[in-house]
Amino acid sequence: MTNDLRRRLKELLIERLKFEDMTPDDIQDDEQLFGGGLGLDSIDALEIVVMLESEFGIKVKNESSARDYFKSIASLAEFVQERTAQKQP
């Protein structure tokens, strides 16, 4: 499940952030999303929040508390798994 989820997150990021010349294979699981690595910014962070809500039904109420999870694809996948598992009955 984790590898599928990571690949899905990469595809969504590429689509949402309009990285037309990228493929999921271009993004390493542990690559920094912000600062170095992909060099995302606060606008991109908001786009990720919207993506998580629309694709996975995850509401991110406090962006600063979620920031730790937005470090890499691996940490983002962990966050999605954690949050979707909490919603199971």
Domain ranges of the chain: 2-86
Region class of 71: left (phi > 0), else alpha (psi between -120 and 50), else beta: alpha
CATH number of 2-86: 1.10.1200.10
pLDDT (0 to 100) of residue 88: 65
Residue 11 pLDDT > 90: yes
Helix, strand and coil content of the chain, in percent to the nearest 5, comes to: 60, 0, 35
Q: What is the mean pLDDT of residues 28-45?
A: 91
Stated pTM of the model:
0.89
pLDDT the model gives residue 89: 62
Cβ-based neighbours of 45, under 8 Å, separated by 6 or more: 34, 63, 67, 70
Percent of the chain whose pLDDT exceeds 70: 96
